[in-house]
Amino acid sequence: MTITTRLTCFFLAMLLLVLVGFSVSMYGVADYYLNQQVDERLTAALNSICGMIETDAAGVEWEPGERRRVLEFPTYEDQLAWWIKDDKNNLIARSHDAEHTDITAFDNRNWQFAQRTIEATTSSSDDSQPMIGEASTKHAALIASAAISRKPVQAAQWQLIAWLVGLSSVVWLAAFASARYVCRWALSPVRSMAIAAEHIDFVDPSQRLPRVHTHDEVGQLTQAFNAMLDRLQESFERQRRFTSDASHQLRTPLTAILGHVDVALRHDRTDTDYQAILETIKRKGTHLSRVVESLLFLARSDREANLPRLVIVDLASWLPTYLTQWDDHPRHNDIQLDCDQSGCSRCVAQSELLAEILNILLENACKFSETGSPIVVSLNNDEDHILVSVADQGCGIDKGDIGNLFTPFVRSEQARQSGVEGVGLGLSIANRLAKTFGGDLTVTSERTRGSCFTLQLPKVSDDLMDD
């Protein structure tokens, strides 16, 4: 079932409920009004009839006389019947249309009745009984009865029902005829979005949904979907560049290894030549292994990269121990340690991976600075973080290259021109590891004056240490 059909059915169902509720309410109001009119007519007629009865202490007497014209009801005379009986159930008077003298002879469904008894008044100063004889017109009591027909009310009710049903049917059918068209028109932007989305493929990832110039949910959906497509295209382009660069970086050492093997197999060589070729193959193979390991690490998702077991590391005591690993490096004497032990120096990390971050930073500092220039490893802290910085006095980095410095396979212009070996993965790995520890890796640099990479790690509070 389409959205248009569901909306149409929902709208028609709600309209049907409204029409039924309106019709029932209108019928109830009209029924109350018509019955009230019948009651008022019947009460007025009964009052007029009782007005023709004379009452005194001697008895009750029916004396319409000249006032009989009051008993004529020209508006609804054919709908009204009345009669007067005495206390012995003898008929005294009746209307022209009162064929029945007994109230029970009328149909209760089609007639509405009212009855009133008029008795002789009594006086405390008169002990005698009323003078009622055969020749006398006095009666001990008279019973006035009236009945009014409900057929006009019933006819009006049926007519009202017919009008309500007819008008409601016309309105509902008109809504049925127009609701589907209105729903289709309202949902036409959604259909356009669906058609456009079906034609979007990765051959041309720049395709977007047509813009909807409305300020409603459909416009918001279009903007959100296009924003998602922008992010997907960016991710796709980044993945494509990553794949292309990775293929190039893997092909280069493989080509060198196969080239040396081909040269070695062309003719017999001395042991010294074979040893040189094997050393070259080993160096290229080691380089290829590092590239593969770096690619595997960067290919992991953030969930897989999270380390399950982290420990508290005191950097003030760990850094001097770590730098002893560089004692055999040719630039060991250029590396200096500036450790501020006045504040907290504890963080949560893994010492092996923390060493990998510093190895990457120190190797870059050694590559891009002159031998004999100082490389300073400093430890400081601020209110919330521990700061480990590696600063050199090398060639520096242009400001235009700093934004892409942590992107895989991206190397600065100075690195490419200097001829220093590298694949552009080290800083990407270091930045990924820093974020794994909940920290960050930043850089400040000035052309020809050197660079400073700073690793920010969250502090471990004293309360956590006590726990």
Of the two residues 118 and 295, the one the predictor is more confident about is 118
Collapsing DSSP states into helix, strand and coil, what is residue 86?
A: strand
- Predicted local distance difference test score (pLDDT) of residue 32: 92
- Which DSSP category does 112 fall into? E
Q: Helices 188-198 & 151-186, crossing angle to 10 degrees?
A: 30
Q: DSSP letters of 327-350? A: TTSTTGGGEEEEE--SS--EEEE-
Smallest CA-to-CA distance from 121 within 60, 197, 210, 69 is with 60
Of the two residues 6 and 240, the one the predictor is more confident about is 6
Of the two residues 76 and 156, the one the predictor is more confident about is 156
- Predicted local distance difference test score (pLDDT) of residue 86: 85
Of 108-122, 158-172, 227-241, 423-437, which one has max mean pLDDT? Answer: 158-172
Collapsing DSSP states into helix, strand and coil, what is residue 453?
A: strand
- Predicted local distance difference test score (pLDDT) of residue 44: 87
Given a cut of 90, whether residue 400 has pLDDT beyond it is: no
- Split at pLDDT 50, 70, 90, the class of 441 is very high
- Predicted local distance difference test score (pLDDT) of residue 454: 94
Tokens 């977007």 sit on residue: 208
CATH of domain 217-299: 1.10.287.130
Q: Judging by beta carbons within 10 Å of its beta carbon (0-12, 13-18, 19+), is residue 290 exposed, middle or buried? A: middle
- Which DSSP category does 403 fall into? T
- Split at pLDDT 50, 70, 90, the class of 461 is low
Given a cut of 70, whether residue 74 has pLDDT beyond it is: no
Q: Please report, rounded to a whole number, the percentage of residues in the chain having pLDDT higher than 90.
A: 17
Structure token pair of residue 355? 């060493």
Structure token pair of residue 461? 């509070």
Q: How far apart are CA 355 and CA 375, in angstroms?
A: 16
Domain 308-466: which CATH number of 3.30.420.40, 3.30.70.1170, 3.60.15.10, 3.30.565.10: 3.30.565.10
Q: How far apart are CA 466 and CA 181, in angstroms?
A: 71
pLDDT in tens, 168-221: 999 999 988 888 888 888 777 777 778 877 777 767 777 777 777 777 777 788
Among 122-126, 168-172, 291-295, 361-365, whose mean pLDDT is lowest?
122-126
- Predicted local distance difference test score (pLDDT) of residue 362: 93
- Predicted local distance difference test score (pLDDT) of residue 128: 46
Q: Please report, rounded to a whole number, the percentage of residues in the chain having pLDDT higher than 70.
A: 80
Q: Tell me the whole-structure pTM to 2 decimals.
A: 0.48
Given a cut of 90, whether residue 161 has pLDDT beyond it is: yes
Name the residue ranges covered by the structural domains of the chain. Answer: 3-157, 217-299, 308-466
Q: How far apart are CA 225 and CA 232, in angstroms?
A: 10
* Average pLDDT over every residue of 77-86: 76
Beta strand spans in 289-401 (E)? 311-314, 335-339, 346-349, 375-381, 385-391
Given a cut of 50, whether residue 65 has pLDDT beyond it is: yes
- Predicted local distance difference test score (pLDDT) of residue 377: 94
pLDDT in tens, 16-36: 999 999 999 999 999 999 989
- Split at pLDDT 50, 70, 90, the class of 102 is low
Smallest CA-to-CA distance from 149 within 108, 100, 102, 116 is with 108
- Predicted local distance difference test score (pLDDT) of residue 19: 93
Tell me which long-range contacts 398-403 makes (C-beta under 8 A, separation of at least 24). Answer: 398/447, 399/445, 402/443, 402/445
Q: How far apart are CA 276 and CA 269, in angstroms?
A: 11
Of the two residues 156 and 255, the one the predictor is more confident about is 156
- Split at pLDDT 50, 70, 90, the class of 75 is very low
The number of residues making up the chain comes to 467
Structure token pair of residue 192? 């356009």
- Supply the mean pLDDT for the chain: 80
Given a cut of 60, whether residue 223 has pLDDT beyond it is: yes
The answer to whether 165 and 23 are in contact (CB under 8 A) is yes
Among 243-257, 261-275, 279-293, whose mean pLDDT is lowest?
243-257
Of the two residues 267 and 135, the one the predictor is more confident about is 267
- Predicted local distance difference test score (pLDDT) of residue 154: 87
- Predicted local distance difference test score (pLDDT) of residue 171: 92
The answer to whether 86 and 143 are in contact (CB under 8 A) is yes
Given a cut of 60, whether residue 100 has pLDDT beyond it is: no
Structure token pair of residue 145? 């009865």
- Split at pLDDT 50, 70, 90, the class of 134 is very low
